[in-house]
Structure 1
């Protein structure tokens, strides 16, 4: 359906360099039409949308308004607190690529410019945003809120299911932020966070039905904040109106302590593809494959975007082992933030191969900091990180870093519970599909015996008041037996895959308190929402070392490390990665 109030006003549009003639009825290619009063229409022969000062509405595709009574398309930061207002719109650029004409339409706001690159014959458009004056922020997003009868299902890389009916969202059943007890008596929950996923590995996601599909395909991911373990909310039902929500969290914080960044002028997010079809997931998957093969996009007219090079090298451990399958990250050329918290510029993630070699291709020319850490498996015992600053990527060139030595601990390891990989994989329920309140299935008291118990006997999260005990025997493990007459420093390493505030724990070695894990107290734990937002794999990684005198605390024979939770809050607590004792 063509928007009827536009048909009478179709006329000759002028850009800075060319005239674009639009037909008076259905267009035959990409177009931009200004109606006045901060209202514009964009689209092509397949779809069109009416854009107001704030919201994009009247999305017509296959003779159907896909927005209906929903809010439509908009851009906002810091949640829904600040929606961008478009003060002007114009044709930024245009041309022909591989026989298809396109227009780059720019909507300008005080904070920056939102672009829609519309090709003839394309159901949808490429989008990108260029920063002009965004404030220091945590969340920045573009999104669609679409008609809930047209789009009935949601799909991420991890889940594919019907969106819950609005009738399930009963006020008396609300238990916390966007989470409700189900009405079927099952004891389960409805929460928008179940349709979250990992941003660096997602191929395509969106909302669909048996007639319509609206998808985001982010082929290039270097504009995202965070590292391999960056996860974000992608799909949900808007609980107040029932809108089907398709989120494009291009800078997000949903599972982090904080990700507050300042952005340089000109920082660009995108381009990504917003894609329409008949609801076919197979078609969307094929389109995603094609987009990934075409990235970086040759048609995109931006000089800095195409200034790219490559960088590679090999990581080896001092004992001669290659850093097999290590997680490798190219980020800020400083250590002021963790890899997950970085987000001002551009970031690249990958994994080393079996020989410890890695390569990043199509990297924007700049100076970076290179980090690497254990991804489990052959490196499950490596508790240290690798770091090298001042890695310079030059446009059109390959930077070869050669063989680099990754320093590791030279202390004697007494025991280790869980692979060192910054996740809860391997533990009971660790890595399960997103599910609210799953940590409630973990026990209040747990006994793990080194040498007898299996990794899966340790649960992924500790939330209830009680004690989790690691029992180990020094004389059975071939470990050094401490001498009571001399001081010998031991170190308990605690690696958390995530932590949600409200739970405090004392750490005991036999009968001596050697540390604590408490909100706000040393070593200081800040909240990440992973455990109470359906996370089961990771939130914000934390690493702690608790030194103590083995000579006076430990003994020959059976010893215990005990994590005693003294106060708790439901659905909150510790998500485990690994516990290591060494001296």
Structure 2
């Protein structure tokens, strides 16, 4: 381990590289530092980390390099000082913890001897109320021609295909042959499902990966999706994006962070481009989390939460999604929460769940029907307003009863899991404009049609009709409830909802006036026009169907799209009519 005094940059750089025998920090001047170890080194300037040397090759080249920013690219953090805050060993291996200070907070690089890369974490000091906060690498595009997430792996589109005359919207172009689209949003993936992701070139012999075994510092729930890798359209840089607090597919997520909020640690890992090696390393990292070498008391002080959910009709809440977040009530959905720390789990077949390694504190618990759940008919959300997690203790919530509707179901289309799974194209790979393949007019016949006969999104003027049979005369004089659950909504489309000849409500953009009709003005999320096919921001609505509207025998529910915007509209979760 080594700290050098200031020296002329060129001679110092050569000396540092040749003399490195362990992790080091070297000051070039008051705004330039070199960090690394025997394997790699990087020159850190006032904002950008450049000259990343690995295997005697500059992996940044003419690209921007490494930096930390918030609110998109509007604010790049400026580093005012750098120092080693800890010299240590773990399992006999020396390491140093280097702290780069900015007005907004502290960026740490924890570098072990002979480590291919570095652990990183950020501690908040004075970040403003914000939506996007990220760290990232922008690397040489010839060294790193490919991208990989848990859901997509392949060649990043070449910069030459980004023709200005073919641009159609935000970061989206038609391909030069006019037969498809290029957009960075096709490289989106699920935050909580990631094992490792990054940019690489097996043929060039280089890989740069992020491995995030701890995910409690991210905002949002299991429906959270974010950009991971892409081609920078202005320069061609290969982008490895670490969206610590992201909003790309949400209505908004504006959070105030407590001082000391920690994002990370995660591992930034360098290798020869081997995905199998990166996968092996990710398994090691996941098994090691929470990291024992980080001597931070709040980070190490944890407990666990467990319980068993049973529906009020006696069924176990099998394979339900469980979310541990802010205490309730909250003015934010589970997807929108992001100030502190968040945890998810899935119940087993008996409704049991356990959430390990939870930071101590107060939380609220929510649960809903999860993907492939045996309780897909349950439209309600279970809530437990407050619970406390204590150090080294299991918070056993015991038997929990989930109150569900006692009404009789007349029909249901889809599953109440907050995703569009099961519908035509629901959950297909992220791709621009897929909703345009759904028809303008669609008829679903209860008892004859299957879930696949309903498309994942409605975006074109026309009528989507559900035809069903009401067998009982007496039911015709009762009121009913039409439940409409959306996996996402992108503004610019309006829907009038009919039951037989009666309008029972409207769904539209923005604020609405009062005309005696139940009309919901929806805020927009960018899901449909940013390549999403499974989720955006979940919404739930109930519409009263008054007595006399339904009749014995044939009936129908119709969603009439009266206003359209290309690639915008409604992404479906589930629809249910009950007495």
The bucket for the TM-score relative to the shorter chain is: over 0.9
Aligned partners of 2:228 and 2:241 also within 8 Å: yes
Give the structure 1 partner of residue 3 of structure 2.
Answer: none
> 1:346 aligned to 2:341?
yes
Aligned partners of 2:30 and 2:81 also within 8 Å: no
CA drift of 1:7 comes to 7.1
Distance 2:273 2:208 in 1: 8
1:370 alignment partner, one of 365, 370, 374:
365
> 1:154 aligned to 2:154?
no
3-state DSSP class of the match of 1:518?
A: strand
Aligned partners of 2:64 and 2:138 also within 8 Å: yes
3-state DSSP class of the match of 2:522?
A: coil
Aligned partners of 1:333 and 1:369 also within 8 Å: yes
1:200-219 deviations in Å (ceiling 9; x for gaps): 01000000002100000001
> 1:169 aligned to 2:162?
yes
> 1:201 aligned to 2:193?
yes
Give the structure 2 partner of residue 280 of structure 1.
Answer: 274
3-state DSSP class of the match of 1:399?
A: strand
Aligned partners of 2:302 and 2:359 also within 8 Å: yes
Distance 1:120 1:100 in 2: 6
Distance 2:462 2:315 in 1: 40
Query: RMSD of aligned C-alpha atoms?
Result: 1.4
3-state DSSP class of the match of 1:96?
A: strand
CA drift of 1:253 comes to 0.4
> 1:245 aligned to 2:239?
yes
CA drift of 1:336 comes to 2.1
Aligned partners of 1:474 and 1:481 also within 8 Å: no
Give the structure 2 partner of residue 410 of structure 1.
Answer: 406
Give the structure 2 partner of residue 546 of structure 1.
Answer: 543
Distance 2:9 2:352 in 1: 57
Give the structure 1 partner of residue 552 of structure 2.
Answer: 556
3-state DSSP class of the match of 2:278?
A: helix
Q: What are the equivalent positions in structure 2 for 1:74-113 lying under 5 Å apart?
A: 74-113=67-106
Give the structure 2 partner of residue 397 of structure 1.
Answer: 393
Aligned partners of 1:8 and 1:24 also within 8 Å: no
CA drift of 1:255 comes to 0.6
Q: What are the equivalent positions in structure 2 for 1:16-165 lying under 5 Å apart?
A: 25-165=18-158
> 1:293 aligned to 2:287?
yes
> 1:223 aligned to 2:223?
no
1:463-490 deviations in Å (ceiling 9; x for gaps): 0000000011101xxx564345xxx321
Distance 1:197 1:360 in 2: 23
Give the structure 2 partner of residue 19 of structure 1.
Answer: none
1:288-318 deviations in Å (ceiling 9; x for gaps): 0000000000011101101000110000011
CA drift of 1:8 comes to 3.9
3-state DSSP class of the match of 2:556?
A: strand
Distance 1:398 1:6 in 2: 54
Distance 1:194 1:28 in 2: 42
Distance 1:24 1:256 in 2: 45
- Aligned residue pairs, count: 562
CA drift of 1:447 comes to 0.4
Aligned partners of 2:207 and 2:272 also within 8 Å: yes
CA drift of 1:28 comes to 0.9
1:484-520 deviations in Å (ceiling 9; x for gaps): 5xxx321110000000001111000111111001001
Cα distance, 1:23–1:446 mapped onto 2, change above 3 Å: closer
Q: Gaps (5+ residues) in structure 2?
A: 1-6, 513-518
Give the structure 1 partner of residue 516 of structure 2.
Answer: none
Distance 1:93 1:377 in 2: 47
> 1:448 aligned to 2:444?
yes
Cα distance, 1:468–1:100 mapped onto 2, change above 3 Å: same
3-state DSSP class of the match of 1:145?
A: strand
3-state DSSP class of the match of 2:509?
A: coil
Aligned partners of 2:476 and 2:549 also within 8 Å: no
